[in-house]
Amino acid sequence: MTELDGKARATARANIALAKYWGKADVALNLPAVPSISLTLDGLVTRTSVRFDRRLESDVVELDGRPATAKEAARVVELLDRVRAAAKASTRAKVVSKNRFPTAAGLASSASGFAALAAAASHAAGLGWGLRKVSSEARRSSASAARSIYGGFAELPAGKKRANGRWDGFLPAKALHGPDHWDLRLVVAETVRGPKKVGSTEGMERSRTTSPYYDAWVAEAPIWADALRAALRRRDLPGVGEAMERSTLAFHTCAITAHPSILYWQAPTVAVLHAVRELREARGLGCWATMDAGPHVKVLCAAEDARKIRAALKKVEGVTGTLVCKPGAGIEVA
Ligand code: ADP
């Protein structure tokens, strides 16, 4: 066994899936059942520092300026354990992480959180992992975290089986285009604050086991991902927007029709959806909506339309805040 004494700090940004991720092919390996395509966002930043210290008897995890809850700490320790196993070490670590946006509210804090943690912990342990390995290990903790390793637009393929019929545990995201490929904006309309009632993993498993539409979702999701990837390449905003909305509504249909039903939408979520249609149909503005496992709505548009769209969304009843995000960079480690 080696003793570790390294430290590192990593910055990662959350990402929003444009082609949505919902459903696991294998729960233990955390392999997605569908491909997803994302946009990494400039404004939603997590900073995480990891310091291995032989004097510690157990890992210490601080999240947003307070001790992590047992459940939060367990997810962090699980990743640290994988890093320690790779380094053949048992040294405990102190982890300090800050999300500069609401945690566990459907703004993808787990994506930036576990991307930053995988990068900082592996670096502090001196493992010299490349981006693909960091991405695959981040995915084990949170599938969307695999995509936050890369800036701009990234894709996480669905899980694959090896020739022997077993699931392949190595599955990184891949970079599609850097942040400079396309100067898009994502206008976030925050609605109801507070942690969501059903976590993503639980929601996905309930959808898989009880929704009559789950198989249809898994069959259709790759078609929308293909359409979205092609539209992204040619910078076709209506093409990306339509594929994103269809993918979003299909995944929420799966969640809503699970039993017991999972309804992440609140009244203002629906009000924003109508406002987006109105902006598109009556005012001719190119804007399309997506929602993750939470009540907020994220609206994709061209940079030049973001100001008008934000002003319109601010007026929707129940919208408590708005935020405009640009394409952001991948992980940075110091
Ligand atoms: P979200 O929509 O914010 O990703 P999830 O419920 O999917 O919501 O994930 C939130 C969970 O991710 C938190 O409860 C916590 O366990 C973990 N998490 C969030 N931020 C961090 C962080 N910076 N470092 C480590 N874990 C984090």
Ligand 1 pocket member 305 (CB < 6 A):
no
Question: pLDDT tier at 93 (50, 70, 90 boundaries)?
Answer: very high
Quick one: pLDDT at residue 200? 87
CA of 91 to the centre of ligand 1 (A): 24
- Evaluate: CB of 148 within 6 angstroms of ligand 1: no
Residues 36-68 have pLDDT tens digits of 999 999 989 999 999 999 999 999 999 999 999
Tell me the best of 72, 147, 202 to mutate to test the pocket of ligand 1, counting ligand atoms within 8 Å of each CB and taking the most.
Answer: 72
Integer Cα distance of 172 and 149 in angstroms: 9
pLDDT tens digits along 127-165: 999 999 999 999 999 999 999 999 999 999 999 999 999
Residue 156 near residue 171 (C-beta atoms within 8 A): yes
Q: Residue 184 corresponds to which tokens in the numbers above? A: 């898009």
Nearest CA owner, ligand 1 atom 22: 113
pLDDT in the model for residue 1: 80
| Per-residue confidence band for 103, with pLDDT thresholds at 50, 70 and 90 | low
Level-2 CATH architecture, domain 7-179: 2-Layer Sandwich (3.30)
Q: How far away, in angstroms, is 68 Cα from ligand 1 center?
A: 11
Question: Which residues pair with residue 49 across a beta bridge?
Answer: 9, 96
Closest CA to 221 of 178, 250, 259: 250
Other beta carbons less than 10 A from residue 28's beta carbon: 9
Look-up of token digits 């392949």:
168
Nearest to 276 by CA among 266, 263, 264, 290: 290
Report the percentage of the chain scoring pLDDT > 70. 98
Structurally, at CATH architecture level, domain 184-325 sits in: 2-Layer Sandwich (3.30)
Q: How confident is the model at residue 105 (pLDDT cuts 50, 70, 90)?
A: low
On the question of pLDDT at 102 being above 80, the answer is: no
Rounded to the nearest angstrom, the distance between the alpha carbon of 7 and the centre of ligand 1 is 22
What confidence tier does 107 reach under pLDDT thresholds 50, 70, 90?
confident
Tell me: cis bond preceding 102? Omega within 30 of 0 counts. no
What residue segments make up the domains of the chain, in order of their start?
7-179, 184-325
Instruction: Quick: pLDDT tens for 271-321.
Output: 999 999 999 999 999 999 999 998 999 999 999 999 999 999 999 999 999
Mutate which of 22, 60, 103 for ligand 1? The one with the most ligand atoms within 8 Å of its CB, which is 103
Give me the mean pLDDT over the 171-177 stretch.
98
Asked whether 248 lines ligand 1 (CB < 6 A), one says: no
Dist. CA 118–CA 76, nearest whole Å = 9
C-alpha of residue 147 to centroid of ligand 1, in Å? 15
Helix or strand holding residue 42 (H, E): strand 36-52
Query: Beta strands 7-19 and 24-26: pairing type?
Result: unpaired
* 108 C-beta closer than 6 A to ligand 1: yes
Closest protein CA for atom 18 of ligand 1 = 110
Q: What is the pLDDT of residues 223-237, one digit of tens each?
A: 999 999 999 999 999
C-alpha 79 chain-centroid distance: 17
- CA 95 to ligand 1 center in whole angstroms: 14
Closest approach atom of ligand 1 to CA 196: 6
Question: Is residue 104 pLDDT above 60, yes or no?
Answer: no
- Does pLDDT of 101 surpass 80? no
- The fraction of the chain above a pLDDT of 90, given in percent, is 92
Question: Please, which pLDDT band fits residue 326 given cuts at 50, 70 and 90?
Answer: very high
Per-residue pLDDT, 106: 61
In this prediction, residue 176 carries a pLDDT of 98
